[in-house]
Amino acid sequence: MSRADRIAALIAAAGACEGPLLPVLHAVQAEFGCIDREAEALIADALNLSRAEVHGVASFYHDFRAEADPRPEVQLCRAEACQARGCEALVPAAEAAAAGRVRLTTVYCLGLCSVGPNARIGDTLHARLDEAALVRLIETA
Amino acid sequence: MTTVRLSDDALAIACGADAVADAFAAAGCAVERVSSWGMHWLEPLVEIAGLGFGPVAPADVPAILHGASDKAIGPIAEHPFIARQQRLTFARAGRTRPLSLEDYAVTGGWAGLTRARALAPGDVIGQVIQSGLRGRGGAGFPTGVKWKTVAEAPGSRKYVVCNADEGDSGTFADRMLMEGDPFAVIEGMAIAAHAVGAQRGYIYVRSEYPHAIAKLNRALEICAPIIAPCRIEVRVGAGAYICGEETAMLASIEGRRGEVRAKPPLPAISGLFGCPTAINNVLTLTALPHIMAEGGAEEYARLGIDRSRGTKPIQLAGNIRHGGLYETAFGITLRELIHEIGGGTASGRPVRAVQVGGPLGAYIPPAQFDLPFDYEAFAAADALIGHGGVVVFDDTADMRAQARFAMAFCAAESCGKCTPCRLGAVRGVELIDRIAASARLPDPVGALAQMHNAPKVARTRDQDLALLDDLCETMRFGSLCALGGFTHYPVQSALKHWPEDFA
């Protein structure tokens, strides 16, 4: 199946609802790791929108990316509750451990605010991190 | 065979509950995964015949099974943290399996919906008004009044939307309910749909909550025949904090940029797809099954103080020894919450500040810890309750850095629709950086050729501080929604109570 066919199938599966654009964008992002120009054009065509409208929406939300990044991603929560539990002190060591091999990103709140510092890799959450535990997570990501 | 109960809540899993469950199963026990009791410092918390053990690691399993564990905390339900609470919304926390219809029904599930459906919609709204329930998401608007507007709005197509975009740091009550008691959230929505005459409902959940999304989807599959003809669907956010604002949320569900719009028209009149829409927070909706059960509205109205009726699930978070979910009637003081219940800071150092109500909430100094939890009392003290998150900071906190973060957060999450928020937050960060660096350089914006009226000499610190205050006021009164409009709370409270950090 070609990439365009695959995107068409995702649109057909996720787009059969009221207000289908976000579910479709999630499906494409999950499958390809990004929503690129080709995908935007196909989605726009299928949903009867302009490509500008699709691009406007895809670029608005933090979860959608214009280019795929093959590196593993580690999200570190750096919101107030984790700050109060010392997450900022872990950042230099985390950045050193990531060293370009891992995409270390900031997330504002994973909802585990009483047991921070916290991180997320895929759908797996990690709590009560100290420097050694976070570095280990990043190195094995 | 010994039956072991432990939570399958995201927080318990993040703390290692799955490995503990596997260890008990390997030791020949029957493992039952239930919701979380909300005593987060004890997670993974294990319950065997009513007795609790926590926090448990797989290595503790043999000692627990031989009755010789130093992790024993005695009967869980009698633990002071639990026994002092008045749990109505969280009545099932720790006690039921989240996706068991049987557990839900034997603990009073669906009684509220059954009774509500036996009543006329107008009578349901009357009961909700009588209970005094106000929106638990933060704004505190009377729920029954909002519903009345939706019910009376013309239109054959109406919607119910559950705001589960719990983006505030320090809050997790919505997440715990969606993961621990999903049928209660759904029952509340079905009651709301009956009251306002809606056929369809959406639950807008943030993408940072994968466990909650999975639980809700599964729960909706299981109970679809019970809530029929009402149909409810989960919609997943995409990492935008602003989509917790109701008009941005509606735009997002419709498939547009999550931009805020001016009100009126109120969503109650013209909401999702232009139809009358009742938007309520998870906590508000989950309070409904109890209120609609026989005698529930009267009991609810008896609890609380002044115009804040019923109970409030408070979330103790940040640098606190005993963090977790504490539901109690309105009126409890911050001092009780932080020192008596929370046990002070986790680091053992003195408390310096507490932020109540998420990233847009004020920082409150220990001198004000006698403030009772009450919408109006907090408003009078230039603070807000918001969603009930309490984030504790010890004396190592740098309040200037916290004020800067408030501005930086607003800049990162602004939808860009209105100027005070979009530009003001960026300027706020620059200004605080200038104050921090003690730089007496001309303002780079003021130095631009087109800024004819700007003074060309460097501002003094006092002038910079006055400018910051002025900027806060501009954002407060000029922003379209609470993101820009409330950022002054953390910034100005930090300036007011900890001026030494800006010196």
List of chain A residues whose C-beta atoms are within 8 Å of the C-beta of residue B256: 21, 57
User: A12-55: per-residue pLDDT in tens?
Assistant: 999 889 999 999 999 999 999 999 999 999 999 999 999 999 99
In CATH terms, the fold of domain B399-502 is de novo design (two linked rop proteins) (1.20.1440)
> Does A67 reside within a domain?
no
Residues near B395 by beta carbon (within 8 Å), at least 6 away in sequence: B349, B350, B351, B352
Query: Does A126 lie in the same domain as A79?
Result: yes
The CATH H-level (homologous superfamily) assignment of domain B3-83 is Glutaredoxin (3.40.30.10)
pLDDT at B457: 79
Domain ranges in chain B?
3-83, 101-302, 304-394, 399-502
pLDDT at B483: 96
Q: Do B210 and A20 touch (CB under 8 A)?
A: no
A55 contacts chain B (CB < 8 A): no
Residues near B378 by beta carbon (within 8 Å), at least 6 away in sequence: B356, B357, B371, B384, B385
List of chain A residues whose C-beta atoms are within 8 Å of the C-beta of residue B389: 81, 113
pLDDT at B444: 77
CATH number at residue A80: 3.40.30.10
List of chain A residues whose C-beta atoms are within 8 Å of the C-beta of residue B402: 80, 83
Query: Does A51 lie in the same domain as A109?
Result: no
Cβ within 8 Å of B, A 71-110: 79-85, 107-110
User: B3-35: per-residue pLDDT in tens?
Assistant: 999 999 999 999 999 999 999 999 999 999 999
| CATH number at B304-394 | 3.10.20.600
Asked if the model's pLDDT at residue B440 lies above 80, the reply is no
Establish whether domains B101-302 and B304-394 are of one fold. no
> Does A80 reside within a domain?
yes
Task: Work out the average pLDDT over B358-386.
Answer: 95
Query: Does A91 lie in the same domain as A52?
Result: no
B297 contacts chain A (CB < 8 A): no
A113 contacts chain B (CB < 8 A): yes
Q: Do A114 and B316 touch (CB under 8 A)?
A: yes
List of chain B residues whose C-beta atoms are within 8 Å of the C-beta of residue A128: 15
Task: Work out the average pLDDT over B412-429.
Answer: 97
Query: Does A27 lie in the same domain as A54?
Result: yes
Number of domain units in chain A: 2
What secondary structure does DSSP assign to B386-450, as a single string?
TT-EEEEEETT--HHHHHHHHHHHHHHH--SSSHHHHHHHHHHHHHHHHHHTT--PPPTTTTSTT
Domain that holds residue A97: 73-139
Q: Do A115 and B316 touch (CB under 8 A)?
A: no
Query: Does A97 lie in the same domain as A124?
Result: yes
Query: Does A122 lie in the same domain as A98?
Result: yes
Q: Do B172 and A125 touch (CB under 8 A)?
A: no
pLDDT at B453: 85
Query: Does A106 lie in the same domain as A77?
Result: yes
Question: Pick from A33, A60, A87: which residue ends a domain?
Answer: A60
Q: Is the complex ipTM higher than 0.90?
A: yes
Which chain B residue is nearest to residue A122, measuring alpha carbons? B210
User: B282-338: per-residue pLDDT in tens?
Assistant: 999 999 999 999 999 999 999 988 888 999 999 999 999 999 999 999 999 999 999
> Does A65 reside within a domain?
no
Phi first, then psi: give them for residue B352, nearest 5 degrees.
-105, -40
CATH code 3.40.50.150 for B101-302: no
User: B135-156: per-residue pLDDT in tens?
Assistant: 998 888 999 999 999 999 999 9
Measured CA to CA, the distance from residue B454 to residue B466 in angstroms comes to 15
Which chain B residue is nearest to residue A78, measuring alpha carbons? B169
pLDDT at A27: 97
Asked if the model's pLDDT at residue B105 lies above 90, the reply is yes
Measured CA to CA, the distance from residue B406 to residue B396 in angstroms comes to 18
pLDDT at A22: 98
Task: Work out the average pLDDT over B408-437.
Answer: 95
> Does A66 reside within a domain?
no
Q: Do B258 and A61 touch (CB under 8 A)?
A: yes
Task: Work out the average pLDDT over B67-88.
Answer: 96
C-beta separation of B185 from B166 below 8 A: no
List of chain B residues whose C-beta atoms are within 8 Å of the C-beta of residue A25: 238
